[in-house]
Amino acid sequence: MAIPPTLPTSFVPPPSTTIASAYRSGVLGFIAYLILGVIFILAIGVFFYGRLLSAEYASKEAALHKAEAAIDPATVENFVRLRDRLASSESLLNRHIAFSGFFSSLENILPQTVRFSLLHLSVDSSGVAKIEGSGTAKSFNALAAASTAFAADGNIKDAIFSNININNEGSVSFVLSATVDPEIITFLP
């Protein structure tokens, strides 16, 4: 029987490095295709996530336009006017002067034998309150006690008693000039 001409008559096995090299290139190719597939899946995910975000943005923008259209300009104007009135009233209350604290302090520190017949309270543009007044005291000692009480209290500062005259009945008339601590005339709710 004759051997067909296409069959080799001898066989030489290929070297072992060629098989290992072919195996390595097959594994590296598989890893490369795997990485390419993961990147492709991630790209598709990013694409669809971008579509989702843009649809969400469009729906939020439509809701915002709808809410803006529902706002009544008259209501906004009323809120703005209310805010302005509240700010103005707060400013007025912060600058409001209330002399009731001064009169309460004066009542507490002034001896009962000293009285004012004229008392003028004023506040200048810088906020300094001044008192000027005239009155009588039962005696010079009562006037000295009033001066000491003013100095000890500290709310009525720089008290100057002038034009001191002793009257016929023994009473002492005087003129007072002083400044008042701003905290005692500040309005507190």
Q: What is the pLDDT of residues 61-97, one digit of tens each?
A: 999 999 888 888 888 899 999 999 999 988 887 777 7
**What CATH number was assigned to the domain covering residues 100-185?**
3.30.70
Q: What is the pLDDT of residues 32-60, one digit of tens each?
A: 899 999 999 999 999 999 999 999 999 99
Identify the CA nearest to 140 among candidates 175, 116, 164: 164
Contact (CB, 8 A) for 127 and 183? no
102 Cβ contact partners less than 8 Å away, ≥ 6 residues apart: 121, 129, 131, 155, 180, 184, 185
Q: What is the pLDDT of residues 100-132, one digit of tens each?
A: 778 888 888 888 888 888 988 888 877 788 889
Q: Confidence class of residue 139 from pLDDT cuts 50, 70 and 90?
A: confident
Q: Which amino acid is it at 60?
A: K
Would the pTM count as exceeding 0.85?
Answer: no
pLDDT at residue 52, rounded to an integer: 95
Q: What is the mean pLDDT of residues 6-14?
A: 63
* Residue recorded with tokens 């300094």: 128
Q: Confidence class of residue 20 from pLDDT cuts 50, 70 and 90?
A: low
Higher pLDDT, 95 or 18: 95
